[in-house]
A and B are shown apart, each in its own frame.
Chain A
Amino acid sequence: MTLASVRPAVIAVFLSFQGFSSGLAPGEISIQVKELESKVEDVSRRGLPATVSLFSEKSESSGSGVIISQKGLILTAGHVVEGLEEVTVVFPDGKQARGRVLGSNLSKDAAMVQLQPDGEWPFVALGDSRDTKVGDFVISLGHAGGYDALRSPPVRFGRVVALNPLGFIGTDCALIGGDSGGPLFNLEGEVIGIHSSIGASLMANNHTGVQNFKTDWDRLEKGETWGRLTMNPLMNPDRPVIGFNVAGAVAGGVELAEVYPDSPADVVGMRRGDVVSRIEGQQVRNLRELQGVLSGHEPGNEVEVTFIREGESMTRKIKLARLADVLPEQE
């Protein structure tokens, strides 16, 4: 597999947007927008041949996928190949081939398919989703609505609008049925995410970051299937939690309404009324900030939690649990 590559270019393009509107003659378009456009055109052209439609005769459902190696390894979404052993892989030019379903991590909606036979397939490079930032420009491809012989998979351009829990990326590249499993590219043409789910807003398009594949690469390649499909990341059983309910934001942090028995919070002696002020040194002023800090961690990670009780500040090392372990009835 291709590993981490740093891509400062995306950030550079964004930064250059801050000041480009001044100093132009009438009718003159800024060079930066032209550069951005030519990158989007380039990524579209290079990404297209590797963006495939995956169709199952068995379930009569269709999704998308992207080829990331010359040997024909395809990344797709877990829910696209759930329960399948084989799929028909259709290329944008209408050529078709068989694909053998490998492994899936359903909790992260990540799955792999191997083209048969392995050989000279068109492919794109893998990027790194870990240095993705809000505001990064992204390009989305996918066989929206299923394979269509009369059009190539539609190109969509947008930005990262949120970094969601569990390594998911939120963008404003609108998705629809059939897109699932398709690639999200950075401006360098590297795959950084795989289309997973949509919310009501056009700003709510959720992609599983490629880091979610890299973490479990070998298991996925070997054909292991695990995890549970949950489209609400807040309900994902593998989400890291401390183990309390929040009453609300108060001066100095968030107040606890309730601590779950035997949860990590309970173990270190936290209780109702405590006010969490910092996690790993980062200030948490409300539930959103608290979730934001936690989403950067995995269950099993140790984090330093600072909370205030009766005017006194205390700091404890807490080992994060899985949501499902704190609320077993959820599984």
Chain B
Amino acid sequence: MKSYAYALIVLMAFLSVSSAQLPESSPEDRALLVGQAENLFKSLVPAVEKAALGTVEVRVWRKRVGYGTVVATGKVLTKWSEVRRDIRSLSCRTGAGKWLSAEVSGVYPDADLAILDVEGLQAEPVRFGDEGTLKLGSFLALSRPDGQAAAMGVVSVLPRSLRSSDRAFLGVVMDLEFKGPGVLVRRVEPDTGAALSGLREGDVILRVTDQEVNGSFELATLLQRLEPGQKVEILFKRSGRQEAVNVELGGRPRAPRIPYNRMEQMNSMGGHRYNDVKDGFRNVIQSDMQLNPEDCGAPVVDLDGQLVGVAIARAGRIKSFIIPASMIMELLSTKPVKPQAEPGNVDGVRRQPGFENEDPFEMMRRKMEEMRRLMEEMEEKED
């Protein structure tokens, strides 16, 4: 068959990537899938309804760069790095189609969030809920100003910090090939807790405080779940004798687990777009929700319509991040810093003409329409 000819095979060590496409699914299957997705999205409307009243579009010139969550009368929360490109040409568009000019009044740089002042905005502020009720696999929907769900996903990972400085670091390089029991220290990094405590190359770590360690993963897991500044007692073996030291843990960035380039290549396959600021948040819910970069800033609700967070980034092929409601409320109780436009980018260097930012629901409708036309054409040919 003809299809032999187009084989171009790319193999990868971790996840094999096929550059050749699989056989196309049939029009019937595609129609079924589109219909199913449409039904699923329709079923989410009651959940987003209320949050949608407090959702606006945030635009630079006429291009949508994000959504915004109305957090107080005339105050809108949105993604800072997406609006800072051109903070002098910001406007908000309400679900009713009203255009209002907006100004950045304050920024929470750690969370990449900005507060916009929008004069004349009538929308009622949203009410934040409690993300503590979420479980792994709980459904999430992204609210859009027109009362539709802009995206759907599940809770992939419960809230956690992405900041490397939040992770405890001992300062030893472990010998991965050592068969145990315990963990063999291959090297001690200078000026770390381990070095200061006197641990050295050749020591075999047996216990951390009360927990036995059977290998490098167990030791790494244990340490990463502790906090910098915490003190632990380490029991180790040196020249056949057991000794113990007290170590004060530090903080340090972790090494990438999969070679960076390879992950980036897989992430960028198919030309998916991600936000520029997509990591380092202090507290996020991870979801498989397929956000567009310009969907950030919108409220995220659970099936009960409870507002559990604000979308903050599309971070990769499999993940989007949401800042949990409790974190947002904590931020809002603090004073934001004064905004500063992106250096060298003040006049919207990255501004793009046109309106390519079609929203997912519209795209789905358009694709369905195309498919319907295609199927009609095919049926005509058969007759």
Can you identify 6 A-B contacts, CB atoms within 8 angstroms?
A21-B42, A62-B14, A157-B137, A170-B22, A231-B11, A289-B26
By a CB distance below 8 angstroms, the chain A residues around B20 are 199, 232, 234-235
Contact with B along A51-76 (1 / 0, CB 8 A): 00001010101110000000000000
Please classify how large the interface on chain B is, using the bins under 10, 10 to 19, 20 to 34, 35 or more.
35 or more
User: Are B303 and A157 within 8 A (Cβ)?
Assistant: no
Q: Of the candidates B19, B33, B49, B218, which one forms a contact with A96 in the assembled complex, judged by CB atoms under 8 Å apart?
A: B218
User: Are B26 and A37 within 8 A (Cβ)?
Assistant: no
State the CA gap A48–B157 with chains docked (Å): 11
Q: Is the interface of B mostly helix, strand, loop or mixed?
A: mixed
User: Are B137 and A233 within 8 A (Cβ)?
Assistant: no
Closest 9 CB pairs of A and B: A94-B221, A44-B137, A200-B270, A146-B257, A177-B14, A154-B156, A149-B221, A41-B137, A149-B224
State the CA gap A156–B152 with chains docked (Å): 11
| B326 touches A (CB below 8 Å) | no
| B332 touches A (CB below 8 Å) | no
Given contacts A21-B42, A176-B267, A177-B262, contact A202 B317 (CB under 8 A): yes
By a CB distance below 8 angstroms, the chain A residues around B288 are 154-158, 173-174
Q: Which residue of B lies closest to A91 (CB)?
A: B217
Q: Of the candidates A79, A135, A152, A330, which one forms a contact with B16 in the assembled complex, judged by CB atoms under 8 Å apart?
A: A79
Residues B288-333 near A (CB distance < 8 A): 288, 290, 303-305, 316-319
| B54 touches A (CB below 8 Å) | no
Contact with B along A305-331 (1 / 0, CB 8 A): 000000000000000000100010010
Q: Of the candidates B15, B43, B317, which one forms a contact with A20 in the assembled complex, judged by CB atoms under 8 Å apart?
A: B43
User: Are B16 and A151 within 8 A (Cβ)?
Assistant: no
User: Are B262 and A199 within 8 A (Cβ)?
Assistant: no
User: Are A40 and B139 within 8 A (Cβ)?
Assistant: yes
State the CA gap A285–B381 with chains docked (Å): 12
User: Are A29 and B217 within 8 A (Cβ)?
Assistant: no
State the CA gap A17–B215 with chains docked (Å): 48
Q: Which residue of A lies closest to B221 (CB)?
A: A94
User: Are B156 and A20 within 8 A (Cβ)?
Assistant: no
| B365 touches A (CB below 8 Å) | no
Q: Which residue of A lies closest to B225 (CB)?
A: A149
Residues A217-264 near B (CB distance < 8 A): 229-235, 241, 244-246, 257
User: Are B23 and A180 within 8 A (Cβ)?
Assistant: no
State the CA gap A291–B303 with chains docked (Å): 41
| B191 touches A (CB below 8 Å) | no
By a CB distance below 8 angstroms, the chain B residues around A155 are 136-137, 154-157, 288
By a CB distance below 8 angstroms, the chain B residues around A289 are 26
By a CB distance below 8 angstroms, the chain B residues around A34 are 303
Nearest-Cβ distance from residue A328 to partner chain B, whole angstroms = 13
| A165 touches B (CB below 8 Å) | yes
Given contacts A134-B32, A234-B4, contact A24 B46 (CB under 8 A): yes
Name the residue among B2, B15, B23 with the largest chain A CB count within 10 angstroms. B15
| A90 touches B (CB below 8 Å) | yes
By a CB distance below 8 angstroms, the chain B residues around A36 are 139
Q: Of the candidates B26, B225, B263, which one forms a contact with A177 in the assembled complex, judged by CB atoms under 8 Å apart?
A: B263
The tally of residues in A whose CB lies under 8 Å from a CB in B reads 101
State the CA gap A231–B11 with chains docked (Å): 7
Given contacts A26-B49, A149-B220, contact A197 B16 (CB under 8 A): yes
Given contacts A197-B16, A292-B26, contact A145 B263 (CB under 8 A): yes
User: Are B136 and A45 within 8 A (Cβ)?
Assistant: yes
| B153 touches A (CB below 8 Å) | yes
By a CB distance below 8 angstroms, the chain A residues around B160 are 150-151
Q: Which residue of A lies closest to B139 (CB)?
A: A37
Residues of A within 8 A of B (CB): 14, 17-18, 20-21, 24, 26-30, 32-34, 36-37, 40-45, 48, 55, 57, 59, 61-63, 79, 88, 90, 93-96, 109, 134-135, 139, 144-152, 154-159, 161-162, 164-165, 170, 173-180, 195-202, 204, 206, 229-235, 241, 244-246, 257, 285, 287-292, 295, 323, 327, 330
State the CA gap A109–B18 with chains docked (Å): 13
User: Are B16 and A176 within 8 A (Cβ)?
Assistant: no
Q: Which residue of A lies closest to B8 (CB)?
A: A232
User: Are B258 and A177 within 8 A (Cβ)?
Assistant: yes
Q: Of the candidates B47, B167, B222, B263, which one forms a contact with A29 in the assembled complex, judged by CB atoms under 8 Å apart?
A: B47
User: Are A244 and B135 within 8 A (Cβ)?
Assistant: no
User: Are A161 and B304 within 8 A (Cβ)?
Assistant: no
Q: Of the candidates B32, B40, B137, B218, which one forms a contact with A139 in the assembled complex, judged by CB atoms under 8 Å apart?
A: B137
| B352 touches A (CB below 8 Å) | no
Q: Which residue of B lies closest to A172 (CB)?
A: B33
Given contacts A33-B44, A157-B154, A161-B33, contact A176 B317 (CB under 8 A): yes
Given contacts A79-B16, A175-B15, A180-B15, contact A134 B29 (CB under 8 A): yes
Q: Of the candidates A43, A156, A198, A290, which one forms a contact with B18 in the assembled complex, judged by CB atoms under 8 Å apart?
A: A198
State the CA gap A321–B310 with chains docked (Å): 55
Q: Of the candidates A32, A165, A174, which one forms a contact with B43 in the assembled complex, judged by CB atoms under 8 Å apart?
A: A32
User: Are A231 and B17 within 8 A (Cβ)?
Assistant: yes
User: Are B17 and A152 within 8 A (Cβ)?
Assistant: no
User: Are B19 and A174 within 8 A (Cβ)?
Assistant: no
Contact with A along B2-43 (1 / 0, CB 8 A): 111001011111111111111111100100110110011011
Q: Which residue of B lies closest to A79 (CB)?
A: B16
User: Are B136 and A175 within 8 A (Cβ)?
Assistant: no
State the CA gap A245–B185 with chains docked (Å): 61
Q: Which residue of A lies closest to B47 (CB)?
A: A29
By a CB distance below 8 angstroms, the chain A residues around B136 are 41, 44-45, 48, 152, 155
| B81 touches A (CB below 8 Å) | no
Nearest-Cβ distance from residue A170 to partner chain B, whole angstroms = 6
By a CB distance below 8 angstroms, the chain B residues around A231 are 9-11, 16-18
State the CA gap A94–B44 with chains docked (Å): 36
| B338 touches A (CB below 8 Å) | no
Given contacts A44-B137, A45-B136, A234-B7, 16 further A-B contacts (CB under 8 A): A27-B49, A29-B46, A40-B137, A40-B138, A42-B137, A94-B221, A134-B32, A164-B23, A174-B317, A176-B263, A177-B12, A180-B14, A198-B18, A199-B17, A235-B9, A288-B26
